[in-house]
A and B are shown apart, each in its own frame.
Chain A
Amino acid sequence: MGKFILNIIHRPEMVPEYAEKITGQGKKEDISRKDLLTESLDIFKLQQQIAHENGFKTTIQMTYASLFNEEAVELAKEHHEKYGDEISLTLLGLPCKEFREKYKTKDFCIWMFSMEDKKSIVNDVFEKFYSMFGFYPTSTGSYYMDAELINYIKETYPMVKCAVTSCWEEGPKAYRTCNNSWYTFLDGGPWNPWIPSKQNTHAPAASEHEDSGIVAIPHLSRDLLACFDGNGSNFGTHPQNVLRGMIYKNGEYPYLYNLIDQYRSLEKYNSGYAYNMMFVGPGWMNKMGRWEATYELLVKSYKDGMAYYGSLRDKNELEDMTMSEFADWYRENKSYTEPECALWKDILYGSDKQLFWYSDPFLRTCLDMNQGGAIIDLRPYIAKLERPIGIGTKNVHDASYPYLVQSMYRAGYFTHYVGEGTIKSCKISYEGEEVDLCLCRTKASFSQNGKDRVLTLDPVEIEFRDLTIKLVSTFTFTEGAGEIKISRKISGMSNPDAKITLNEYITACYGTTEYPEDMTGITLKLTDGKAVKQIDYNYKCREEKMTEVIEVEATIPQIGTRLRIRPADGQIHGYINEGYAFSPMFTLGLTKELSNEEEMITWLRLEKAD
């Protein structure tokens, strides 16, 4: 039996996001309206009541606004005494009369403030907290917390050990869903808790030297398939998000339980550990309802979600912890280099699609079994990119960690007309015909052998005009190595004497959004150990080839990353392809001729390029 840990977090947000906009329709804005404040507190009380009725302790994240409300402060103290709730402090919920008078802004997202303001706000809210409770909080959070902010908090308030630091894959998709008005560009982080590095919150620390000093937890546990190609705020362990996605009928939402259960199942890939986080802001349970969901349905869904967690706890299949308790547990039970793995299946759309997600301090990636195990997402965590964010930097909004491959934003196998999209796959050719594994749907199984996490794909069959072959792909992730070993083995041929050619390739670029970036400055190289051929990217559609290569590589200075691919043995040809303006990508490839039962092994490695 694995360990499934749950964090339940509530925040008395005196001016809930959404609520003022909805309940105040047709009224002049007034965030100190008494009815708004009263309702906000009532919702918080109700959420607490539901959790306590189910026997759970919560983490109460006091907002700055709530620290000015005597009743909210007294409630927190009382619930700490009575139920063991942790009294914590969030950097969400800043808006209130006092905040606006001091900072003279309507900004509310801590990562977007100038560094000077961030420090001032942190000092204000932490000191206000201390003045109300007589101690400093040991956990905090926001939708996103940048590394500079975390480092400052840790330096000033070293007792902080846990924080909500990011919303998984909440980026351009969420922005667009919200009519291009919700500025949380936070793509590219881990989906489950991690220890952020001092350099970049998304990128996990590889050592004590890089350790920011906190354990990060994601804002909600999100569907690893639906959120990759859809609005992140429809598919998470937030019952009202499920309603927002219209994933219910007649007051029933089995998807919510399926999502929780699939998260529980991840213990199979993570040494018996699984995690869930539930964090619903009061604005989602306001009396006016939320969009087409009535207040009654909003409350019912919260009660049902909590009751389901309660039923799991009653069967000893769940343990609830406060944020700080969880941070202690995480520190005691996890190492820096231990990866987070998730073999995830579609639980919503009725397909058999399966993805495999992998994250460690060196890389994050996703493989799509519907495309023969193609890599459809790749982020170079090893670069530990320092990207200050907020007013006064060159980057006010974009907190996403850059990709090398993101097949939803930058095409993948399928492109319109000409050009290529980002993908890592393999082409098989025989007598003038060519098949890409992206067109071979399959399934995968996971195994662990010591430090190796191995994903083995079911054999795929490839039909040529007068030859049929079977091919097995295996991906091995060795803990601490920062590389992926890829094996392609021919497990059968209708003509055992035939020879086919494999072309193991990656088409990549860099970016954080759906739009192309300037590729100038990227260099592509290949070498046989004696000679080197190089292309300096200039959109000229050039290609270089070499026989018996020992390595092909791309250096992308814009994201401080080097991407290397090397073969296991000789007799392998290599090539590098520059893109062009209508196809701003590059491709690295290795080709080899194979007979029946033969195997081609390559390694994909990411490095920091200084």
Chain B
Amino acid sequence: MAQAGKGRLNYRCPSCFMRDLDMDMFYDKQKDEYYCLRCQFTGNEADVLKGNDMCRIKYRSMLKRITVFS
């Protein structure tokens, strides 16, 4: 099995991001799979994008334009 490299984009691990960790993932061409060196996350690009959306759940006002402050 050849060494891993970087994918099309430099995706971070969504599982680690959810616990406030920025972990670059590496890409296994043979399996078409991103994987995290720190936790057990593995997945293809669609899995990563789905995970990234889950990361955003905590940002409930992310798309809201706020004009009134305290």
A residues apposed to B, CB below 8 Å = 22, 25-26, 173, 176-179, 230-231, 244, 246-249, 252, 254-255, 257-258, 261-262, 265, 288-294, 343-350, 354, 444, 446
Contact = CB atoms under 8 A, between A and B. Distances in A.
B38 interface: yes
A231 B9 CA distance: 22
Given A179-B23, A292-B10, A349-B58, A252 B17 contact: no
A291 B64 CA distance: 24
B11 A347 contact: no
B12 A292 contact: yes
A177 B67 CA distance: 31
Given A177-B21, A291-B10, A349 B70 contact: no
Most buried by B among A22, A289, A350: A350
B46 interface: no
A345 B17 contact: no
Interface in B1-48: 5-6, 9-12, 17, 20-24, 38, 48
Contacts of A294: 9
B70 A354 contact: yes
Contacts of B55: 246
Interface residues of B, number: 29
User: Chain B at the A interface: mostly helix, strand, loop or mixed?
Assistant: loop
Contacts of A244: 22
B10 A22 contact: yes
B67 to A, nearest CB: 7
A347 B61 CA distance: 6
B56 A231 contact: no
Contact of A249 (B12, B21, B56): B56
B13 to A, nearest CB: 10
B63 A349 contact: no
Given A265-B69, A343-B70, A291 B21 contact: no
Contacts of A345: 69-70
B38 A349 contact: no
B68 to A, nearest CB: 9
A601 to B, nearest CB: 25
Given A230-B20, A247-B56, 18 more contacts: A22-B10, A25-B6, A177-B22, A179-B22, A246-B59, A247-B62, A249-B62, A254-B65, A258-B65, A262-B69, A291-B22, A292-B10, A292-B12, A347-B69, A348-B59, A348-B61, A349-B59, A350-B61
Nearest to A249: B63
Contacts of B11: 291-292
A230 B19 CA distance: 10
Contacts, number: 93
B23 to A, nearest CB: 6
A291 B11 CA distance: 5
B20 A265 contact: no
Nearest to A254: B65
A379 B54 CA distance: 36
Contacts of B66: 254, 258, 261-262, 347
Nearest to A248: B62
A251 to B, nearest CB: 12
A293 B10 CA distance: 8
A25 B25 CA distance: 12
Contacts of B38: 179
Contacts of B10: 22, 288-292
A254 B64 contact: yes
Nearest to A356: B70
B50 to A, nearest CB: 13
B56 A246 contact: yes
Nearest to A288: B10
A288 B5 CA distance: 14
A176 B20 contact: yes
A178 B16 CA distance: 11
The 9 lowest CB-CB distance pairs between A and B, nearest first, are A350-B60, A265-B69, A343-B70, A258-B66, A254-B65, A345-B70, A350-B61, A292-B9, A291-B10
Contacts of A22: 10
A354 B70 CA distance: 8
Contact of B63 (A231, A252, A288): A252
Nearest to B37: A179
Given A291-B10, A291-B12, A292-B52, A173 B20 contact: yes
B54 to A, nearest CB: 10
B62 A348 contact: yes
Nearest to A253: B62
Nearest to B24: A291
Given A177-B22, A249-B62, A26 B56 contact: no
19 contacts: A173-B20, A177-B21, A179-B22, A247-B59, A252-B63, A258-B61, A258-B65, A289-B10, A291-B9, A291-B10, A292-B9, A344-B70, A345-B69, A347-B66, A347-B69, A348-B59, A348-B60, A350-B59, A354-B70
Contacts of A348: 59-62
B5 A26 contact: yes
Nearest to A269: B70
Contact of A231 (B20, B67, B70): B20
A442 B22 CA distance: 34
Contacts of A265: 69-70
Nearest to A264: B69
Contacts of A173: 20
A458 to B, nearest CB: 12
B52 A246 contact: yes
B10 to A, nearest CB: 5
Nearest to B11: A292
Contacts of B17: 246
Nearest to B23: A179
Contacts of A344: 70
